[in-house]
Structures are given as C-alpha cells and as structure tokens.
C-alpha cells in the first residue's frame, strides 16, 4: 500500500486497496431526486444513513463535483428540497439507469415507471420502493471529494409492507 507524506490520512487515495476495502461494505441503495428549476434530476446513492428520530434526520453523501450536489448546494428553494426512495431489489434496472454517466432527465428515465411528484419536495418519487422520504436540507458538510447533506424528513409518502432491499456490494447489486 502506498503512503503519502503530504499530511491528511497518510494514504494515497489512488491506492486500489482503499476502494476495494470500502466496496466490501454492503449498503442499501437509494434514489435521490430533485426538482431543479430547469429539470428533474436524480442519482443513485448508497451512502445513506438515518441520523435521528427526534427530530427526524437522514444523511446522504454525494460526489462533490456531481450536478445533484451542485443543485443541493444552492441556498434557494426549491433546491433545498428533495426526495429519497429506498430502492427494492426489484428496482435494480432503475438504479442502473440513474447510475449511468450522461443519463437523461429523471423525468425521461421514469417515463415508463409508475411515479408521483412529492407534495413537500416537488421531486419525482418512483413507486415500488421500500419507502420514500421527502426532505429539506438542514446542513451541508464538505467531506473530501463528497458533499454530506443532512436533511430533515418533511414527509413519508409511502412505506412498503414487504420487499427486499437493493444492496450494493463490491460494485454490484447481489441478491440477498
């Protein structure tokens, strides 16, 4: 393993062992959608975490240079509101569409998928997930090459009675 002497953690971020070690963590996959002034955008996010029940807070971590991070960094509404769908195993293809580079508008991706527009966020929310949350940005924290967004949960449009989660492990979506 390479070691950097320039400070920080001491590890060279280009070392493939770092990415391999971090990808060994299994994580649920979510879809973050935002109604931007220009269009509807969305991206898959596996760095999601419930933070607090009182008040209800969640956390998502977005690639700092991504368009969703840029939009959620804007200080004005409606960019401070967004939706998170906890994807089910049956939504593997949908996750792949939202993870693809150069993807089109979220509206186009969801054209053939049942969905609604969230009353609290204005964001598109696909049906068929395990749950959906509508959120508002509470805090933004730059963290290396990511932007951590802590958000207050404003509404819960649905919670499925059953279903398996979509899991990301070692860069793939394995079955449970």
CB proximity list for 104: less than 8 A, separation 6 or greater = none
- Average pLDDT of the chain is 90
- Span 97-128, pLDDT tens digits: 999 988 889 999 999 999 999 999 999 999 99
- Span 45-87, pLDDT tens digits: 999 999 999 999 999 999 999 989 998 988 776 568 999 999 9
With vertex at residue 152, the alpha carbon angle to CA 150 and CA 155, rounded to the nearest 5 degrees, is: 140
- Rounded distance, CA 45 to CA 28, Å? 9
**In contact, 170 and 27? CB cutoff 8 Å:** no
In the CATH scheme, what is the code of domain 26-168? 2.30.110.10
Least confident among 13-17, 149-153, 165-169: 13-17
pTM of the model: 0.89
Where are the domains positioned within the chain? 26-168
């Amino acid at each position: 393993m390479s070691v950097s002497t320039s400070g920080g953690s001491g590890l060279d971020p280009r070392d493939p062992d770092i990415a391999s070690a971090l990808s060994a963590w299994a994580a649920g996959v979510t879809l973050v959608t935002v109604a931007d002034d220009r269009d509807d955008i969305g991206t898959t996010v596996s760095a999601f975490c419930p933070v607090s029940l009182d008040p209800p807070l969640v956390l998502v971590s977005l690639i700092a240079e991504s368009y969703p991070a840029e939009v959620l960094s804007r200080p004005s509404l409606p960019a401070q509101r967004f939706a998170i769908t906890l994807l089910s195993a049956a939504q593997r293809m949908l996750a792949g569409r939202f993870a693809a580079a150069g993807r089109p508008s979220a509206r186009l991706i969801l054209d053939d998928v049942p969905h609604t527009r969230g009353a609290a966020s204005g964001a598109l929310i696909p049906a068929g997930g395990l749950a959906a949350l509508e959120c508002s940005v509470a805090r933004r924290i730059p963290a290396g090459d990511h932007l951590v967004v802590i958000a207050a949960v404003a509404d819960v449009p649905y919670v499925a009675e059953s279903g398996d989660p979509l899991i990301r492990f070692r860069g793939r979506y394995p079955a449970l």
